[in-house]
């Protein structure tokens, strides 16, 4: 082999070796490895959706979703960090890596499954309407020509448009804004999951109508992150099997809570 050929061959070998090394360095860690190595699990939760996630009188973020996220963190043996998400921002924040998982009243939907993956269902509810008592509104049929408030990026926004195309939909970033529109008369109804609406029922208001659509909640994770998703699923199963889930559920939704809602399903447990 001539000297020039040997030089070129060596140079190519060096380039390939460096490329392989850089590829190895750049290879992304899966989320479970990252969480274990950093000792921290970052959960995207809502701060505006009692009793799932809200800021209490002491300024602490609490709620059903926070307790579920805390159980998962404890199961993994790491600390929990909370970051606020909304219905509009939760998927972008997950895909961009700002949060490791989303525990934020998120319905497992086929369309969403194109961009992210979900855990097994951990909460069972359905979409309904919140109205002022005496409004005459009892179901979506009564919403023709009326204004309905909800939040941007939610399944509720799409479901109500499909269920009652003659209604005007007024959207907001957060639930308190949607409820304020109802209070001020800018909307004649507010719609979202019944379990979220329960957090806004005050004197003079009522939840009405049958379910507009089922709303099974799943925990959102990034696509193709099966190790992490399995860990979350196993934590949820353990939470159910040990009875902790029902204790947490009764804390927020039991008959003696501020938001009494009968348990609507059972967590899937694999043999």
Q: Do domains 31-122+218-253 and 126-215 have the same CATH topology?
A: yes
Q: Where are the domains of the chain?
A: 31-122+218-253, 126-215
Is the per-residue pLDDT at 190 higher than 90? yes
How many CA within 13 A on the CB side of residue 147? 13
pLDDT (0 to 100) of residue 3: 45
Residue 129, strand partner residues? 191, 208
Instruction: Decide the pairing of beta strands 168-172 and 147-151.
Output: parallel
Q: Which of the four CATH numbers 3.50.50.60, 1.10.510.10, 3.40.190.10, 2.40.50.140 does domain 126-215 have?
A: 3.40.190.10
52 closest CA partner among 152, 155, 148, 123: 123
Q: Chain-wide mean pLDDT for the chain?
A: 91
Asked whether the predicted pLDDT for residue 23 surpasses 70, the reply is: no
Average pLDDT over residues 182-202: 96
Per the listing, tokens 């009188």 go with: 57
- Asked whether residue 33 carries a pLDDT value surpassing 80, the answer given is yes
Which DSSP category does 107 fall into? B
Please check whether the domain covering 31-122+218-253 is classified as CATH 3.40.190.10.
yes
CB-CB contact of 212 with 148 (8 Å): no
User: At 129, which helix (H) or strand (E)?
Assistant: strand 123-132
Q: Model confidence over 118-168: pLDDT tens digits?
A: 999 999 999 999 999 999 999 999 999 999 999 998 999 999 999 999 999
How many other β-carbons are positioned within 10 Å of the β-carbon of residue 168? 13
* Predicted local confidence at residue 240, as pLDDT: 98
In this prediction, what percent of the chain has a pLDDT beyond 90? 88
Tens digits of residue pLDDT in 219-243: 999 999 999 999 999 999 999 999 9
Tens digits of residue pLDDT in 34-70 = 999 999 999 999 999 999 999 999 999 999 999 999 9
Helices 226-241 and 64-76 pack at an angle, to 10 degrees, of 110
Tokens (6 digits) for 241: 């099997």
Per-residue pLDDT band for 13 (boundaries 50, 70, 90) equals very low
pLDDT tens across 195-215, in order? 999 999 999 999 999 999 999
């Amino acid at each position: 082999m001539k000297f020039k050929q040997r030089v070129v061959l060596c140079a190519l070998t060096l380039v390939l070796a460096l490329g392989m090394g850089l590829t190895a360095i750049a290879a992304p860690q899966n989320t479970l490895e990252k969480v274990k190595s950093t000792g921290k699990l970052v959960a995207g939760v809502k701060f505006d959706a009692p009793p799932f996630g809200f800021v209490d009188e002491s300024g602490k973020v609490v709620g059903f979703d926070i307790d579920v996220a805390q159980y998962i963190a404890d199961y993994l043996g790491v600390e929990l960090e909370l970051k606020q998400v909304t219905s509009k921002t939760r998927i972008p924040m997950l895909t961009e890596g700002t949060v490791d998982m989303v525990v934020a009243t998120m319905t497992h939907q086929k369309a969403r499954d194109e961009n992210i993956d979900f855990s097994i269902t951990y909460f069972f509810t359905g979409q309904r309407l919140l109205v002022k008592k005496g409004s005459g509104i009892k179901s979506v049929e009564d919403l023709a020509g009326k204004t309905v408030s909800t939040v941007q990026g939610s399944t509720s926004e799409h479901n109500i448009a499909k269920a009652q195309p003659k209604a005007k939909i007024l959207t907001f970033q957060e639930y308190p804004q949607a409820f304020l529109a109802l209070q001020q008369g800018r909307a004649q109804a507010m719609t979202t999951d019944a379990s979220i609406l329960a957090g806004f029922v005050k004197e003079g208001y009522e939840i009405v109508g049958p379910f507009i659509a089922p709303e099974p909640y799943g925990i959102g994770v990034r696509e193709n992150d099966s190790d992490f998703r399995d860990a979350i699923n196993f934590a949820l199963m353990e939470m159910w099997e040990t009875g902790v889930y029902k204790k947490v559920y009764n804390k927020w939704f039991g008959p003696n809570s501020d938001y009494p809602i009968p348990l609507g399903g059972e967590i899937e447990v694999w043999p």
